[in-house]
């Protein structure tokens, strides 16, 4: 007789191997959100192209953080990074065709540049308080020693004090959890303007021109979380069977 396999039977067999779950009040160590910040950074930069630019066709931007450091025990947060910009532009190309009074031949090029930024801000209010770092300690101690005095001193007297030929120390070191950041989102509003635009030479259209330098102004909005690994207590009340 051929048996019929049901999906429920396979699931039941799989659920026979239940994971071990500790019951009660458990202490675990997980990243805790200390603060969620919205920062606004102002950037002004001059970009120099490797060749004359006729027209900007497209700009793609990506925000990268290279440093996000909460300087405990203060509330100062140091932010550093850059905006990677890939600029696609048209450059005049006389090899294709010489300019005329009604036309300009050009080819497309790409230029990638990193625009740096940095800012120091203060966290005025924490969602959860950070665990402050414990200071390392180092203490010296000595033992008293007695020595016989040389000739010229009473025979019953002794030299008492520490021995400078020995060095004793007790030290302790704490390995504190360093806060770190998580980049959530970014938004850029920018304005680009040519600085040295000049008309095209020869018989080119009067309104066409080229430039090699561009001034860029950006308003960069960044949203990020500041976290730190901390020990927290969680409640585990049951180890239920596998649920469908």
**What residue spans define the domains of the chain?**
23-127+137-235
> Closest by alpha carbon to 83, among 58, 113, 109?
113
CB–CB of 200/99 below 8 Å?
Answer: yes
Backbone region of residue 97 per phi and psi (left: phi > 0; alpha: psi in -120 to 50; beta: other values): beta
CB–CB of 104/91 below 8 Å?
Answer: no
Q: How large is the average pLDDT for residues 53-79?
A: 94
CB–CB of 174/133 below 8 Å?
Answer: yes
| DSSP secondary structure letter of residue 12 | H
| DSSP secondary structure letter of residue 19 | P
Q: How many CA atoms lie within 13 A of 120 on its CB side?
A: 4
pLDDT digits (tens, 9 = 90+) for 7-20: 555 555 555 666 77
Q: pLDDT band at 140, cuts 50/70/90?
A: confident
Q: pLDDT band at 3, cuts 50/70/90?
A: low
- Which of the residue ranges 125-134, 136-145, 186-195 would you say has the lowest mean pLDDT? 136-145
Question: According to the model, what pLDDT value does residue 215 have?
Answer: 94
| DSSP secondary structure letter of residue 178 | P
Strands (E), the chain: 24-53, 55-71, 76-92, 106-122, 137-141, 144-148, 158-162, 168-172, 180-194, 198-199, 209-236
Question: Cα(191)–Cα(216) distance, rounded to whole angstroms?
Answer: 6
Q: How large is the average pLDDT for residues 132-155?
A: 81
Q: Can you say how many angstroms the Cα of residue 31 is from the centroid of all Cα atoms in its chain?
A: 15
In this structure, the chain runs to a length of: 244
Rounded to 5 degrees, φ, ψ at 243 are -100, 145
Q: What angle do CA 108, 112, 116 make, to 5 degrees?
A: 150
| Of 58 and 165, more confident | 58
> Closest by alpha carbon to 130, among 73, 200, 170, 173?
73
Widest CA span of the chain, in angstroms?
117
Question: According to the model, what pLDDT value does residue 30 have?
Answer: 93
């Amino acid at each position: 007789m051929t048996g019929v396999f049901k999906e429920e039977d396979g699931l039941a067999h799989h659920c026979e191997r239940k994971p071990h779950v500790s019951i009660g009040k458990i202490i675990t160590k997980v990243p805790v959100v200390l603060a969620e910040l919205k920062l606004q950074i102002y950037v002004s930069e001059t970009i120099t192209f490797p060749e004359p630019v006729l027209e900007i066709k497209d700009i793609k931007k990506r925000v990268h953080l290279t440093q996000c450091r909460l300087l405990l025990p203060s509330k100062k947060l140091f932010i550093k990074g850059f905006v990677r910009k890939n600029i696609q532009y048209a450059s005049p190309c006389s090899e294709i065709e010489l300019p005329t009074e009604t036309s300009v031949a050009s080819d497309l090029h790409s230029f990638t540049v990193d625009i740096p930024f940095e800012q120091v801000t203060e966290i005025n209010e924490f969602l959860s308080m950070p665990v402050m770092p414990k200071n390392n300690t180092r203490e010296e101690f000595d033992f008293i020693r007695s020595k016989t005095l040389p000739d010229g001193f009473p025979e019953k007297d002794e030299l008492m004090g520490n021995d400078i030929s020995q060095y004793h120390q007790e030290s302790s070191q704490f390995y504190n959890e360093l806060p770190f950041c998580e980049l959530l989102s970014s938004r850029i509003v920018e304005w680009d303007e040519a600085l040295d635009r000049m008309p095209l030479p020869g018989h080119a259209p009067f309104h066409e021109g080229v430039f090699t330098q561009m001034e860029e102004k950006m308003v960069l909005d960044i949203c990020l979380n500041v976290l730190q690994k901390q020990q927290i207590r969680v409640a585990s009340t049951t180890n239920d069977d596998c649920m469908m």
